[in-house]
Structure 1
Amino acid sequence: MMFVSIIRIIGILLTLVSLTMCIPISAAVVYGEYAVIPAFLIPMGLCILAETLLFFVTRGYVFKLNTRSGFVVVAVSWISTCLFGAAPFLISGHIGNFADALFESVSGFTTTGATILSSVEHLPRSINLWRMQMHWLGGMGIVALTVALLPVLGVGGFQLIKAETTGPEKGKITPKITVTAKILWFIYIALTAVQTVLLMIAGMDFFDALGHSFATVGTGGFSSRNASIGSYRSPGIEWICTIFMILAGINFSLYYRILVGRGIEFLQNTELKVYTFIIFIASLIIVPFIMPLYGSFGSALRSAAFHVASIISTTGFSTADYSLWHPAARMVLFILLFIGGCAGSTAGGIKVIRWVIMAKQMGVEVKRLLHPHGVFSIHLNKRPGREDVVYNVAAFMFLYFFMLMLTAFAAAINGADLITALTASLALVGNVGPGFGKVGPAENFGFFSDAAKYWFSFAMLAGRLELYTMLVFFMPTYWKK
């Protein structure tokens, strides 16, 4: 019964993802890219056919999930979706190597934004739209989309959402998980629609505005232009993207609290305060170091704020090759690679809340040294925090840095220099996209071997699912009854 439930849910999920291919198919029709249409129709048709057969074979079965099977569903769903997402690249012939196509697909769905392509402007617009659309689907979560659209999964839906969402604490904003998923997706769609309209007003056509909104709100960073957002040379477009990258890096449950009249919780949120403070301070620190390159405070501030927002939100857009900036400015951006956005957002990385918890716990330990018999606890959002959350964060941090070490070593085996290897691992595990050195904003990951790309794909998936969901299968205790 459990196995049937897992297969059916994965089948339904892949079918939903396949139906979203109607968007790039529509683009192919509008722009006369008829030769590309089969690259989308074939995988979509096979998915729908397979799910139809599954429906009739398993009709009458009741969905049944537990925590253990929830991990299986989420992990296999993401792997299957990434394999499915690579199909249009391979069938169309625009990415002929399987390792490259898989890397591009995983990078898209995990909202990493790292690419193996040296030029994206030669691609059909429909293929580029699919690349950016993958960010949007993966940003909020493909499993969350399935739970939102299928109330029948409500029984085990919370186990699935917990295995896919980010942050040290998982919870519902409403009593029913399906309602929670729908609300989050509604906010997500609203932000995407608003940004699309604003970008069109600022000068983008509808295709570019929609695609870049997918990539911004999903914090992915794929672009249809080789020079990314910098190709538009528009201060208005840059500021719009900066604002929405920052918004996408905020916990989406806080937006719900504003909608229901609990805005005070938004203002009192500890993580949000630290997140905005980091962006503000980092931008101001960078400005004087890059002002000679830009000639004015306003231009330097715009570029600094854009790249700070891009890296802390793990979007990965660029308007300039920041690897050419002053070393002090580059160091600020390098530090941001370790931080990430807020828990419950579409951003990747370690997350601001984990750094806040560790910093507060450090303060508690100092107090205990001075007052051995005192009783101290950390406070978050003006409420006492649970001690077990500290243990959870400490374990995650250890696992995260261990994953970074393995990924950096994999890059080094391929001949990457120290800076390239280290920042590549930070960019991949943290789902940031570009790093420094040979994987900087003006470069790509195409020079790595196929074996390295397979490991990088695993690292991106593990990072997107916050490590445990992917790595739990390697633990002997998972397989014990």
Structure 2
Amino acid sequence: MRGLNFKIIISFLGLTSMLNGTFMLFAVPFSMYYGETEKWGILQAGLTTIAIGFILWFFNRNAKKNLGKKEGYLIVTLGWLMLTVTGTLPYVFTNAIPIYTNAFFETLSGYSTTGSSILTDIESMPKGILFWRSATHWIGGMGIIVLTVAILPLLGIGGMQLFMAEAPGPSADKMHPRITETAKRLWLIYFILTFTEFFLLKIAGMTWFDAINHAMATMSTGGFSTKNASIAHYDSFPIIQYIIIIFMFIAGANFVLTYFALKGKIRKVFKSEEFKYYFFGTIGVTLLITYLIVNYQDSSLQTSLQHAYTWGETENAFRHAAFSVVSVLTTTGFVSADFTMWNSMVTAIIFSLFFIGGSAGSTSGGIKVVRHIIMIKSSFYEFKKLLHPNAIIPVRYDGGSVPKTIIYNILSFFVLYMLIFIVSSLLLTFFGLDFLSAMGAAASSLGNIGPAVGSVSPVDNFAHLTIPAKWFCSFLMLIGRLELFTVLILLTPFFWRKN
């Protein structure tokens, strides 16, 4: 029997805080370049965060290096909260978001890559603050926990427990047998893809500042934009929207498969069942919505965005359909058009995508495609068992048999996910939202998506939510980002028992 190693937990939180403060300092040059007085507030926030982290780490640096699963779960959850609490400081110190509830909501929305915002005039915000806002996406996208795993061996700490707690999906694929090398390669791919998109967006017509912010938001599947109208601002630049569609799709795919693709192993990519469903499903739903937009658009409905939209143009309809499908499916949350202003069937189809999610091993949120595949196969397995009760019929995925423990885990996850969605929708009505908006806010926050339906539609935001509703949505964003179990297990009494 042993108790929790709290010293190593606090030490890690200190390390996390120091890294977070260092990232804050990267926003200072942007603020200086644009001659903003907010640079001093951002600098103060960064130095304060580093100082807090150093104190926590220094007084616990000699802690025993034993790290178990319980410590891993605590470090990931508390680490995310540490990121959020310290991440609010640039907003607070510069008075960019003076109300702390709003600052906390915006920060956690960034780190969780949800993209829901309380800002009503984004373009009036200081550039240094906008860069930091996008940086919270980029840090949270791959997970600062994975980044830190790469340097934990230098401290004599194994990182597998942290990696499993940070990425608790059903896929156990790794690019390299050593977890440290996996973390390093994940971040290298992440950085290369971000820089590539930044370069292409700059060539396509974005300013360098907008390009770097949108590249960070895309690869993290976050969705924070520097424009009030999001990507609809670039409706006259179709190439920009197509570039973002492609990189959103890549970000929503398993990064292990992206690694194989970059090495030229394309066949291995298309051997993945999840990728095939993800790829062909995206194409199929896009074509269906394009057809519905072109042929069944309600004549009384007008797009809320201030850009010309000719419904008869197949390319135009296809582009906005593809953008909306990929944005929601990958839980990025960028907006090129208000999908709630198309016909009701399209809105229903897109809302159903809120419960799909991207691929396991990606930066996207949601339930994940692989879980749906295994649940469907498991259902057919039960039909077969009814006809042949004595037969041994395994559930197969990617050519292998899926252990029953994984099937039970996936079914439990799905039931818990839907139960939380239903209860959350009811609670949000108690906090002042109408039922449609409550469903949208609950699905969006839990799935880390961003824009939803009702009063939180793609042309609205979360500023009008009551304070209790914002805190509750923040909680949903946290548990959604860490895939439920990582956070909720901390609320169980048996977690705290000595074993």
TM-score, length-scaled by structure 2: 0.93
Alignment map for 1:136-285 (pairs within 5 Å)? 136-152=138-154, 155-233=157-235, 234-260=237-263, 262-285=265-288
Alignment map for 1:65-144 (pairs within 5 Å)? 65-144=67-146
Distance between the aligned counterparts of 2:55 and 2:389, measured in 1? 66
Distance between the aligned counterparts of 1:187 and 1:428, measured in 2? 27
Residue of structure 1 in register with 2:303 after alignment: none
Deviating more after overlay: 406-415 vs 329-338: 406-415
- Give 1:22 deviation, angstroms: 2.4
Residue of structure 2 in register with 1:352 after alignment: 369
Residue of structure 2 in register with 1:397 after alignment: 414
Structure number with higher helix proportion: 1
Could you list the structure 1 runs, at least 4 aligned residues long, displaced by more than 6 angstroms after superposition: none
Distance between the aligned counterparts of 1:161 and 1:218, measured in 2? 18
Secondary structure of the residue aligned to 1:74 is helix
Secondary structure of the residue aligned to 1:20 is helix
Residue of structure 2 in register with 1:363 after alignment: 380
- Give 1:171 deviation, angstroms: 4.8
**Structure 1 stretches lacking a partner, 5+ long:** none
**Structure 2 stretches lacking a partner, 5+ long:** 298-309
Distance between the aligned counterparts of 2:26 and 2:394, measured in 1? 51
Deviating more after overlay: 284-293 vs 263-272: 284-293
Letter in 1 for 2:98: G
Instruction: Report if aligned partners of 1:154, 1:176 keep a CA contact under 8 Å in 2.
Output: no
Letter in 2 for 1:462: I
Is 1:298 the counterpart of 2:321? The answer is: no
Instruction: Report if aligned partners of 2:18, 2:51 keep a CA contact under 8 Å in 1.
Output: no
Letter in 2 for 1:307: S
- Give 1:380 deviation, angstroms: 1.1
Is 1:473 the counterpart of 2:490? The answer is: yes
- Give 1:447 deviation, angstroms: 1.2
- Give 1:53 deviation, angstroms: 3.6
Secondary structure of the residue aligned to 2:26 is helix
Secondary structure of the residue aligned to 2:115 is coil
Cα offsets for 1:300-325 (capped at 9, x unmatched):
11110000000000000011111110
Distance between the aligned counterparts of 2:172 and 2:455, measured in 1? 37
Instruction: Report if aligned partners of 2:114, 2:223 keep a CA contact under 8 Å in 1.
Output: yes
Change (3 A) 1:24 1:57: same
Cα offsets for 1:373-401 (capped at 9, x unmatched):
22111111122222211101011111111
Residue of structure 1 in register with 2:12 after alignment: 9
Secondary structure of the residue aligned to 1:168 is coil
- Give 1:150 deviation, angstroms: 3.7
Distance between the aligned counterparts of 1:257 and 1:385, measured in 2? 23
Is 1:341 the counterpart of 2:358? The answer is: yes
The alignment's C-alpha RMSD in Å is 1.6
Instruction: Report if aligned partners of 2:11, 2:61 keep a CA contact under 8 Å in 1.
Output: no
Instruction: Report if aligned partners of 1:349, 1:463 keep a CA contact under 8 Å in 2.
Output: yes
Cα offsets for 1:264-322 (capped at 9, x unmatched):
32111011011112211110111122226522111111110000000000000011111
- Give 1:195 deviation, angstroms: 0.3
Distance between the aligned counterparts of 1:328 and 1:54, measured in 2? 53
Alignment map for 1:387-426 (pairs within 5 Å)? 387-426=404-443
Distance between the aligned counterparts of 2:196 and 2:13, measured in 1? 32
Deviating more after overlay: 382-391 vs 232-241: 382-391
Residue of structure 1 in register with 2:458 after alignment: 441
Residue of structure 1 in register with 2:477 after alignment: 460
Distance between the aligned counterparts of 2:386 and 2:55, measured in 1? 65
Q: How many residues align?
A: 480
Cα offsets for 1:24-54 (capped at 9, x unmatched):
1111011111x21122222221232234444
- Give 1:465 deviation, angstroms: 0.2
Change (3 A) 1:55 1:435: closer
Letter in 1 for 2:328: I
Distance between the aligned counterparts of 1:116 and 1:154, measured in 2? 42
Instruction: Report if aligned partners of 1:166, 1:345 keep a CA contact under 8 Å in 2.
Output: no
Alignment map for 1:25-40 (pairs within 5 Å)? 25-33=28-36, 35-40=37-42
- Give 1:21 deviation, angstroms: 1.4
Residue of structure 1 in register with 2:307 after alignment: none
Distance between the aligned counterparts of 1:369 and 1:77, measured in 2? 47
